[in-house]
């Protein structure tokens, strides 16, 4: 879903399902690895430059790393999304950030340089692993839509393409745009995770708690030596950014 102020793609958890007449059958994920385009240097898991290339989807957050790894190992559709993006000309940075309550995630265009287009996928702080996997899959489908559309080269062209081809809805002064394919991808991943909710949510909770503990330890280690003299109300633990 796209929020045009600022220009970005957002998904609202309470968005209605598309009408049956609007739904399309999504092609099944390929059964073999997707080769990287020959005109994209140093792309994919191995690099023609003689060394391992960085992944196209990047994050340094252990919670997001768990989502990417678990989604790829638990859902054929999620794994296919990752492989398609890895074979594209995009570099995707995934982050967890504070966002308005109604927004679960958004995809925003960054810049283009050296034949590479850079985008960001931003997720609100996830509470449950299975829900976060569905939201991330939804956003990765938007990333794939950008990858497959050479007319998208900046935030303005991205907004124009989504207004033209997506489903536009108004909410107050904001404009939201989503696509049927992104909704269907989220539904497909949810179906493939059915029966594993308790297991995945418990594992996610452990990873999330560990990541938050590590963040608190890191912040405490970096505190000023004058911290003991500061008013106690200045920081209510855990002090997680």
**Residue closest to 122 by CA, chosen among 207, 56, 168, 138:** 138
Size of the chain in residues: 241
Q: Taking a C-beta distance cutoff of 8 angstroms, is the pair 70, 199 a contact?
A: no
**pLDDT recorded at residue 215:** 63
Judged by average pLDDT, the poorest of 89-93, 162-166, 186-190, 230-234 is 230-234
The answer for residues whose C-beta is within 8 angstroms of residue 76's C-beta and 6 or more apart is 29, 192
- Residue 185 banded pLDDT, cuts 50, 70, 90: very high
Across the chain, mean pLDDT equals: 76
The fraction of the chain above a pLDDT of 70, given in percent, is 67
Q: Kindly report the CA angle at 106 between 127 and 199, in degrees rounded to 5? A: 30
- The yes-or-no verdict on residue 193 having pLDDT over 80 is yes
- pTM comes to 0.70
**Residue closest to 148 by CA, chosen among 71, 67, 37, 64:** 37
- 54 or 11: which carries more pLDDT confidence? 54
**Residue closest to 53 by CA, chosen among 69, 70, 67, 37:** 37
- The yes-or-no verdict on residue 5 having pLDDT over 50 is no
């Amino acid at each position: 879903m796209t929020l045009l102020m600022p220009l970005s793609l957002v998904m609202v958890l309470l968005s209605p399902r598309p009408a049956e007449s609007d739904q399309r059958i999504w092609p099944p994920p390929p059964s073999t690895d997707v080769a990287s385009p020959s005109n994209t240097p140093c792309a994919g898991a191995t690099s023609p430059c003689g060394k391992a290339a960085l992944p196209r989807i990047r994050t340094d957050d252990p919670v997001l790393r768990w989502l990417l790894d678990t989604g790829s190992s638990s859902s054929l559709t999620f794994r296919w999304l990752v492989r398609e993006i890895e074979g594209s000309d995009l570099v995707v940075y995934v982050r967890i950030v504070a966002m308005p309550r109604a927004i679960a995630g958004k995809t925003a265009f960054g810049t283009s340089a050296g034949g590479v287009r850079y985008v960001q996928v931003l997720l609100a702080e996830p509470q449950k692993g299975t829900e976060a996997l569905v939201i991330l899959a939804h956003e990765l489908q938007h990333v794939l839509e950008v990858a497959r559309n050479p007319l998208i080269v900046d935030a303005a062209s991205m907004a124009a393409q989504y207004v033209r081809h997506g489903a536009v809805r108004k909410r107050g002064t904001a404009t939201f745009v989503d696509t049927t394919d992104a909704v269907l991808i989220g539904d497909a991943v949810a179906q493939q995770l059915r029966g594993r909710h308790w297991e995945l949510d418990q594992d996610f909770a452990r990873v999330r708690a560990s990541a938050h503990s590590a963040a608190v330890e890191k912040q405490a280690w970096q505190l000023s030596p004058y911290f003991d003299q500061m008013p106690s109300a200045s920081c209510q633990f855990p002090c997680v950014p």
